[in-house]
Chain A
Amino acid sequence: AQSVTQLGSHVSVSEGALVLLRCNYSSSVPPYLFWYVQYPNQGLQLLLKYTSAATLVKGINGFEAEFKKSETSFHLTKPSAHMSDAAEYFCAVSGGGGSEKLVFGKGTKLTVNP
């Protein structure tokens, strides 16, 4: 069984500051890990994914995440926040493969202050 914990339901940063959104997972099998972003009243957009290749994964819009097996973490970072990054971010885990069920964290709402 898989589970995801996102620490912090709300994160607020200043424009230009580092963005760090935390995600810890639990999985009984080698996991596939994903970060999705959701803007108000829209579906989810894939930011990046880890599927057992390189542990440092680069995604769209300047985001990246590092898979750390020893810490069971997959934190999302961006060096410099932009106003357009304000959104809800979801971390998700699956047992591997797109046909496997995704288990989502509860989400972190990112606010970017001018």
Chain B
Amino acid sequence: GAVVSQHPSRVICKSGTSVKIECRSLDFQATTMFWYRQFPKKSLMLMATSNEGSKATYEQGVEKDKFLINHASLTLSTLTVTSAHPEDSSFYICSADRSRDTQYFGPGTRLTVL
């Protein structure tokens, strides 16, 4: 149990385009999902907290207009990187809150912006 999926696992896009990443909790409902960014050989940086049916809460320094988050249902949250640039290239990982005491993580999405 507690499986979280992400799609796509890898994406390569041209600078200026937008990319959508999906995060799904497959066997449980998640009121809250989180989006993290991980730079090479670095720890995870929380970008935003996604709450079903309400606006996401962004961490300081994260541009909400660039990183659009939609938590449309209890099993799906999406992160859209708008007008992507090479500096947005990174490993993006989502997690979902199950039973209100533990976050379970997706496998991550590798974004490369050319």
Contacts and interface: CB of A to CB of B under 8 A. Distances in A.
Contacts of B102: 34, 46, 49, 51, 98
B101 A43 contact: no
B100 A43 contact: no
A108 to B, nearest CB: 11
Contacts, number: 60
B22 interface: no
B83 interface: no
B97 interface: yes
A90 B32 contact: no
Interface residues of A, number: 22
A2 to B, nearest CB: 12
Q: Size band of the B side of the interface? A: 20 to 34
Contacts of B44: 44, 90, 102, 104
In the A-B complex, list the 5 residue pairs whose CB atoms are closest, starting with the nearest.
Answer: A98-B97, A44-B105, A43-B105, A43-B107, A99-B32
Given A104-B43, A104-B44, A97 B105 contact: no
15 contacts: A36-B105, A42-B107, A43-B4, A43-B93, A44-B105, A46-B104, A49-B101, A96-B101, A98-B32, A98-B98, A98-B100, A98-B101, A101-B46, A104-B44, A106-B42
B6 interface: yes
Contact of B46 (A41, A46, A90, A102): A102
A33 to B, nearest CB: 11
Nearest to B106: A43
Nearest to B109: A43
A102 B103 contact: yes
Nearest to B5: A43
Contacts of A106: 42-43
A102 B34 contact: yes
B49 interface: yes
A98 B103 contact: yes
A52 to B, nearest CB: 10
Contacts of B42: 106-107
